[in-house]
Amino acid sequence: MLKPLLIYGATGYTGRLILDEALGRGLRPVLSGRNAEAVRALAAQHGLEARPASLEDAKALRAALGGMGAVLHCAGPFVRTVSAMLEACVAMGVHYLDITGEIAVFEEIATRSERAREAGITLLPGVGFDVVPTDCLAAHLKRRLPGATSLTLAFSGGSGPSRGTAATVIEGMGRGGAIRRDGRITRVPTAWRTREIQFADKTRLCVTIPWGDVSTAFHSTGIPNITTYMATSSGGLRTLRVSRLLEPVLRLDAMKRFMLARLQSRPAGPSAGALARTQSQVWGEATDANGAVVRSRLTAPNGYTLTALAAVRAAERLMAGGVPVGFLTPSKAFGAEFVLEIPGTSREDLP
């Protein structure tokens, strides 16, 4: 009998979407998180076991992980929450998954790979919209052009951010952008470059952002030069460029606290109708030293819907066994076709 899945951060917007998907697939996960009252209420609603635990309480966190097959960590910003959970997973021999898109978090987890192998566990971050579709597309492009030396990825998520996603964005404000150059992560200015990209529905204005694939696509493909873009509007681009001037202020903890407090008045995330009406799209291009170019693109459900669908399937696959231990990206764990297992997802190779 398989050990159960623990969902940490189950009471958040994305955590609840993941819980609904898990229940729909017949799983009976154990619920955890920092707010004991909210965790117990949600667990009681579905007849599930509750194991609330603070990330600051190592003993309680390890107790919550006792007997679990894996934890699906959904409580961000992960740059502040990942270390405690990783330590608990290594100590308790529990597989780790999360839905982060933060470059620094992927890089930190990669440094724990040897410890994870010694503990006999897998560390599998980024099993949501960050970074399943982009990572799988990167692996597909590498397969099409094995000698690729440069990779460009772009996405359009389909709806506005949840409070949790916005909090992560606030956490990273004032730090500029990032690309991978000659194998090394390199800082660049905010809104460093723009590009018009032909997605499946239309051509969109895109701007460089520090997306997780600056880390993960390198681990997945070995391609040394990686740039990531996000679709935006002309107004959004102007805002990003103006924000360069404000970066010293945006880095201040007091400013971050103010902006996080303002978030609490916003809806938790996109409505169910918005999720149903919108799609996410991903585009990728790989080139080699001889000038050869391959391009492919994906169409998929809304980013939050895709996160729930992909994260639960990744957890199921991981707990079923047969996945290597240590740090992995989604495509290294399950292959480039994993994203095509998500209902409503299709891939197209372009001329």
Sign of CA pseudo-dihedral 243, 182, 105, 307 = positive
In 3D space, the residue among 24, 75, 82, 80 whose CA is nearest the CA of residue 52 turns out to be 75
Considering the entire predicted model, what is its pTM? 0.94
Q: Give the DSSP per-residue string, 159-187.
A: SPPPHHHHHHHHHHTTS-EEEEETTEEEE
Q: Measure Cα distances from 96 to 63, 84, 85, 106, 289 in Å.
A: 15, 12, 8, 13, 37
The owner of tokens 């080699």 is 288
Q: Give the DSSP per-residue string, 214-225.
A: HHHHHHHH--SE
Please tell me the number of Cα atoms within 13 Å of 40 on its side-chain side. 5
Domain that holds residue 153: 132-302
Instruction: Please give the pLDDT value at position 1.
Output: 65
- Cα gap 136→167, rounded to integer Å: 26
292 and 147 housed in the same domain? yes
Contact 248, 210 (CB under 8 A): no
143 and 38 housed in the same domain? no
315 and 239 housed in the same domain? no
Q: Is residue 222 part of a domain?
A: yes
Instruction: Please give the pLDDT value at position 209.
Output: 95
Q: Is residue 186 part of a domain?
A: yes
The owner of tokens 């690309």 is 179
Instruction: Please give the pLDDT value at position 248.
Output: 84
62 and 156 housed in the same domain? no
237 and 88 housed in the same domain? no
Please tell me the number of Cα atoms within 13 Å of 95 on its side-chain side. 24
Q: Is residue 101 part of a domain?
A: yes
Q: Taking the CB of residue 227, how many other CB atoms lie within 10 A of it?
A: 24
Q: Is residue 342 part of a domain?
A: no
312 and 268 housed in the same domain? no
Q: Is residue 216 part of a domain?
A: yes
110 and 41 housed in the same domain? yes
257 and 223 housed in the same domain? yes
168 and 293 housed in the same domain? yes
In 3D space, the residue among 88, 26, 86, 97 whose CA is nearest the CA of residue 57 turns out to be 88
Overall number of domains in the chain: 2
Positions in the chain short of pLDDT 70: 1
On the question of a cis peptide bond just before residue 77, with omega within 30 degrees of 0, the verdict is yes
99 and 114 housed in the same domain? yes
The CATH number assigned to the domain holding 100 equals 3.40.50.720
The CATH number assigned to the domain holding 207 equals 3.30.360.10
Q: Is residue 341 part of a domain?
A: no
10 and 155 housed in the same domain? no
Q: Mean pLDDT in the chain?
A: 94
Helix (H, G, I), strand (E, B) or coil at 264: coil
Tell me the pLDDT tens digit for each residue of 77-101: 999 999 999 999 999 999 999 999 9
Q: Is residue 340 part of a domain?
A: no
231 and 250 housed in the same domain? yes
- Cα gap 315→124, rounded to integer Å: 9
Instruction: Please give the pLDDT value at position 100.
Output: 96
Percent of the chain with pLDDT over 90: 81
Q: Is residue 349 part of a domain?
A: no
